[in-house]
Amino acid sequence: GDIVLVAADQQHFLQFNAQWDAYTQNWSGWRDFGASLRSTRLTLNYNADGRLALFSLALMPDGTNGLWTINQMGVDSSEWEYNWTSLTDNNLKQIVVVRDLTPPV
């Protein structure tokens, strides 16, 4: 599979860079695809349908850190959903995202 990098710069702009070919080390180049109003901790994983899901732990000054998510528009797409979905604003300190590979019953 390919490698996808996601990063937030000092102005809180979100960018991604996708590896197109591992052998030739061909990359898409950094592209802006969103912004955050606050500092954030980012993590990626795959949805069940194969699209990437980006999770953002927004670090709020008052400690009420919230968890948000946004998804790729399609598998291997360079486009992302326009709006973030809030999962919680319930004082989170840390998140871990792992894909459940348990076979269906």
The 10s digit of each residue's pLDDT in 18-32 is 888 888 989 999 998
Q: Would residue 33 count as lying in a domain?
A: yes
Residue 7, pLDDT score? 92
CA distance linking residue 105 with residue 100, whole number of Å? 13
Chain CA centroid to CA 93, Å: 18
Spatial separation of the C-alpha atoms in residues 24 and 26, rounded to whole Å: 5
* In-domain check, residue 53: yes
Q: Does 61 score more than 90 pLDDT?
A: no
Domain count, the chain: 1
The rounded percent of the chain whose pLDDT value lies above 70 is 99
Q: What is the mean pLDDT of residues 88-96?
A: 83
pTM above 0.85, yes or no: no
54: domain range? 4-88
Mean pLDDT, the chain, rounded, equals: 87
| CA atoms of 53 and 74, how far apart (whole Å) | 11
Say if 15 falls within a structural domain.
yes
CB atoms within 10 A of CB 46: 14
Higher pLDDT among residues 59 and 68, named by residue:
68
- Which whole number is the average pLDDT over 1-18? 87
